[in-house]
Chain A
Amino acid sequence: MSTIARAQLASFAALLLLCAAIGVGHATAFQALRFEERLERAVDVFVGRVTSVSSERRDDDPWTVVSIAVDEWVLYDSTVTETGPFDVDLAFLGGSATGTAPRQVAGFPVFAVGDRVLVASYGADSTAASPLVGVTQGLWREANGVWRDDDDQALAIDATGRVQLARDGDPEIVWLPALRTLLRELRGTP
């Protein structure tokens, strides 16, 4: 094949890719929330591990249900507590379910089975496309003992013993009690 023919075919290939391109972007936009705003808005806050994901049809849309086995409750039904259900299901718009066209909501949080997560959510009864506070902002993921949000901010304790977001994090055993203390403070409960 001649060089000219190759160049022509390459041009066509590039053009065809443009024509065939469909979007899988990440353009969902949401209000930026400070750490304490996220906690103030939350109905449930817990630490757990993702055990399964499944899809189901709701109206004409596919939803993906993320099941999480809870290790530690921090806030349940707007009450600071250490007890609550053993399992929580969180439903997110999107996925692939029988009888519906596959749909993806760009920029939504990523969950993989086995992930250990800290979740601040609007509760299992939320009808929002994402039940997490701040769409993605109510999610921290554990890696090497440090818990980080999607903005790579880690849970840490400052000099006064108050939990906050920082570049370097502290282990769960340190920030978990402090998180309960902060939630009590924010909600004015003993």
Chain B
Amino acid sequence: MSVRRRWRTAIATLLLLGSASAWEVRVDDEAGPADLGARVDAAVDAWRAAGADVDAVERTVLVRYGDAALLGPDAISLVITAGPPGVDFELVVRADAGEQLDDALVIAIGIALGGTPGVGVLDPRLEADEPRRPGPDDAAALAPGVGLPGDVTGDGNVGFDDLLELASAWGRQGINLAADLDGDGVVGDGDLDVLREHYRFAPIGSEASADAVGDDAPDDTTEPEPETEPEPESGEDAAAQDEPQNASDSAP
């Protein structure tokens, strides 16, 4: 593909995605106290105050009250991915959570902003006497790539290490398996499709490629030629590698 065609593809994809890509929080407080919107705003503001560049994150979050029977006795919030159309995160919260709701919102908003689950202020276990307030370290740790589809290892990149993890888990059955990218309970072809769709070839010499190829990574930082990149093992992967510089080209 020529450079000009690559640019056209990239721009067209940007235009298509642009209509839905901006930081947006929708609040539905119909089933509980009307202050939910203000509490969500407070959680977002807490991240802003800590130094998070909220407006640079392009995700849509829906916050709504949930049925107590669904939440069970212990859950304060459930974060559901692949919610209604156009929503990246659906955050279902208890109407009777009291002050812990503010803590749960800080955690959920932090994750939506690209925080790493369980790290720092994002520990899901809430204690009554430990209010959650993100600090500069928490804000600095945000990485918009965390949570990418296909990111089996959770490192914010979709690459060869994810392919290795998926291969090692091939055929496993279960629920919430990291490599079960399509959520069908089995690590198999459907998960490989998801990974292929979001695979990003890192330039040789970059940190990601060094992680992938280990000691064989080149030491210099000179610009590599595309044909020197690792050859994929299957024909399908070869098709994905056809456009090594543009992650969107293999998308449907």
In the complex formed, the residue of A with least CB distance to B67 is: A127
Contacts of B185 in A (CB 8 A): 53-55, 64, 95-96
Q: Which residues of A contact B173 (CB under 8 A)?
A: 52-53, 112-113
Q: Is the CB–CB distance between A66 and B175 below 8 Å?
A: yes
How far is the CB of B89 from the nearest CB of chain A, in Å? 5
Interface hits, A44-88 → B, CB 8 Å: 50, 52-55, 62, 64, 66
Q: Which of B144-152, B160-168, B209-217 lies at the binding interface? A: B144-152
Give the shortest distance, in Å, between A71 (CB) and chain B (any CB): 19
Is A29 in contact with B200, judged by CB distance below 8 angstroms?
A: no
B36 interface hit (Cβ, 8 Å): no
Q: Is the CB of A25 closer than 8 A to any CB of chain B? A: yes
Q: CB distance B82 to A104 under 8 Å?
A: yes
Does A16 interact with chain B (Cβ within 8 Å)?
yes
* B230 proximal to A (CB < 8 A): no
Mask for A23-51, Cβ within 8 A of B = 1, else 0? 11111111111000000010000000010
A-B pairs with CB below 8 Å: how many? 242
Residues of chain B in range 190-233 having any CB-CB distance to chain A below 8 Å: 198, 200, 203, 223
- Bound together, the chains give a CA A140 to CA B81 distance in angstroms of 26
Contacting pair A31 B126 (CB below 8 A): yes
A1 to B118, CA, bound (A): 43
Are B10 and A16 within 8 A (Cβ)? Answer: yes
Contact in complex: A64, B82 (CB < 8 Å): no
Q: Which of A113, A129, A151 is in CB contact (< 8 Å) with B78?
A: A129
Q: Is the CB of B74 within 8 A of A30?
A: yes
User: Once bound together, how far apart are the Cα atoms of A151 and B117, in whole Å?
Assistant: 13
Q: Across the interface, do B72 and A126 meet the contact criterion of CB distance under 8 Å? A: yes
- Whether B147 lies near A23 (C-beta < 8 A) is yes
Taking CB atoms and an 8 Å cut-off, the chain B residues in 134-185 that contact chain A are 144-149, 151, 172-178, 182-185
Q: Is B64 an interface residue (CB 8 A)?
A: no
Given A21-B148, A96-B183, verify A128-B176 contact (CB < 8 Å): no
Q: Cβ of A110 and Cβ of B72 under 8 Å apart?
A: no
Max chain A C-beta neighbours (<10 A), residue from B89, B176, B223 = B176
Which residue of B14, B72, B115 is within 8 Å of A135 (Cβ)?
B72
The answer to whether A109 and B176 have CB atoms under 8 Å apart is: yes
Complexed CA–CA distance, A44 and B122 (Å): 30
Contacts A9-B3, A41-B74, A129-B71 aside, 18 further interface pairs with beta carbons under 8 A come to: A13-B246, A13-B248, A16-B13, A16-B246, A18-B58, A23-B89, A26-B117, A31-B100, A31-B126, A32-B126, A50-B174, A54-B185, A102-B182, A103-B83, A112-B172, A127-B70, A129-B75, A130-B72
What are the 8 closest A-B residue pairs judged by CB atoms, nearest first? A128-B72, A26-B117, A112-B174, A27-B111, A32-B125, A25-B111, A29-B104, A19-B17
Q: Which A residues form the contact surface with B (CB < 8 A)?
A: 1, 3, 5-6, 8-10, 12-13, 15-33, 41, 50, 52-55, 62, 64, 66, 92-96, 101-113, 115, 122, 126-131, 133-135, 137, 151
